[in-house]
Homo-oligomer: A and B are copies of this chain.
């Protein structure tokens, strides 16, 4: 499949026939050098079964690109060609990058305000549930999905996956030297479908909830799996690499393993997609240079500003508890509390992740299997997203001088959030006005503008009930 034109930040794919004998996954090396003027990208190719080898590129500059393949096998070595990269279509903004130290933007400069959700094992549930998940996502505010490559073994997760990442024999033994191609084709199709919905795929490469042996593979297999996964997936613009869910619960891995995994991805991913690692208790040292942003599990969103200061990177609290009613402490927040945590994380200068864990007669809980949402927080999270989208393109930084829970851009925009507090009045001192002020009811989803402009210092009246925010914008 030699496309001669390809849109910027879409996937150019080259297929070549090569050897099928032996073990092509381990015996054959295959890559290509892609060039646009003085820019060179050199992705790895991968074996895709039945003697077919593929290599994928996400061209990031419009213009004519040339390539030449490299392999230890003559059939695959030295192929050359060229293609034209065209301008991106309007809805294609490219991959997400860090911008302004603590924030994100797409490659074309469009701000990206992370509003995440989590369905750890949604790609392992079969087509009916998986398509239902995609249909549900279409009507949500979520622009990032945390999802595992490996299937999940845990409470409410007793089912077997449809596909396994490695070939298996009749007895269910994994052949850790051979990847299952149906598995990976299926997985990357789901990643692509998320992209069609404008959702970044935060791909969780390892996790501890395992009964198949994927959490305890030998180091060579781990490394080979990472290289193969990067080779297949890195060209998808919506890919983020999450080294692990709860890395600190994976007893078989050492800190040196995690560092090595990061470096493998850093070396193999030509596009330098975002990289993070998610904790259960103990944070990984997010100051390490290969970490692009903090992926945090913590219930206290008021600490976000502290972590920003500590790591000088964007902070995403991917897991702050989930709306639901299961007995696990992390899975039984009220919808109100889930929404409060989104707002708190926001006004401390960070980004927050959603999850939902309502008991279900067939154990279909959104947080792991996707399917449908049953809670009340999502419309309020969508309301928050709409407010963020009307906000400053450079993102919100903590503004504690005006209130403990406030963020914004000095002299231009302020968002104050009161949460469980219910002041009936607020004195504000804001030079550089006039400002327009809106009273926001974060639960009822109303925005009520104050009639008069605000100048310098005065007191405004507030509803005196919980879950109120105030938005202040330079008039």
Contact surface of A with B, Cβ cutoff 8 Å: 324-329, 332-334, 336-337, 359, 403-404, 418, 420-427, 459, 464-466
Contacts and interface: CB of A to CB of B under 8 A. Distances in A.
Contacts of A421: 329, 332-334, 337
A325 B421 CA distance: 8
A360 to B, nearest CB: 11
B464 A424 contact: no
A325 B464 contact: yes
A239 B465 CA distance: 37
Contacts of A328: 423
B326 A424 contact: yes
B422 A325 contact: yes
Q: Which of A329, A337, A422, A465 has the most CB of B within 10 A?
A: A422
Given A329-B404, A404-B329, A334 B425 contact: no
A102 to B, nearest CB: 24
- Please name the 4 residue pairs, one residue from A and one from B, whose CB atoms are nearest each other, closest first: A325-B424, A325-B464, A332-B423, A337-B420
Nearest to A326: B423
Contacts of A427: 327
A248 to B, nearest CB: 19
A172 to B, nearest CB: 30
A424 B334 contact: no
A337 B426 CA distance: 20
A414 to B, nearest CB: 15
B425 A333 contact: no
Given A329-B404, A404-B329, A334 B423 contact: no
Contacts of A464: 325
A334 B466 contact: yes
B465 A425 contact: no
Contact of A327 (B324, B337, B359, B425): B425
A334 B422 contact: yes
Given A327-B424, A329-B403, A332-B424, 19 more contacts: A324-B422, A325-B423, A326-B423, A326-B424, A327-B425, A327-B426, A327-B427, A329-B421, A332-B418, A332-B422, A332-B423, A333-B422, A334-B420, A334-B422, A334-B466, A337-B420, A337-B421, A359-B424, A359-B425
A337 B465 CA distance: 12
Nearest to A405: B329
A333 to B, nearest CB: 6
Nearest to A427: B327
Which of A325, A328, A427 has the most chain B CB atoms closer than 10 A to its own CB? A325
A421 B329 CA distance: 7
Nearest to A428: B327
29 contacts: A324-B422, A325-B423, A325-B424, A326-B423, A327-B423, A327-B424, A327-B425, A327-B426, A327-B427, A328-B423, A329-B403, A329-B404, A329-B421, A332-B418, A332-B421, A332-B422, A332-B424, A333-B420, A333-B421, A334-B420, A334-B421, A334-B466, A336-B420, A336-B466, A337-B420, A337-B421, A337-B466, A359-B424, A359-B425
Contacts of A404: 329
Contacts of A422: 324-325, 332-334
A459 B155 CA distance: 15
A363 to B, nearest CB: 13
Contacts of A329: 403-404, 421
Interface centre among A334, A418, A421, A425 (most CB of B within 10 A): A421
Nearest to A321: B421
A336 B327 CA distance: 22
A404 B331 CA distance: 13
Candidate in A327, A329, A337, A459 with the most chain B CB atoms within 10 angstroms: A327
A426 to B, nearest CB: 5
A425 to B, nearest CB: 5
A13 B328 CA distance: 60
A274 B324 CA distance: 44
Contacts of A420: 333-334, 336-337
A214 to B, nearest CB: 28
Contacts of A418: 332
Contacts of A333: 420-422
Contacts of A324: 422
A10 B129 CA distance: 75
Contacts of A332: 418, 421-424
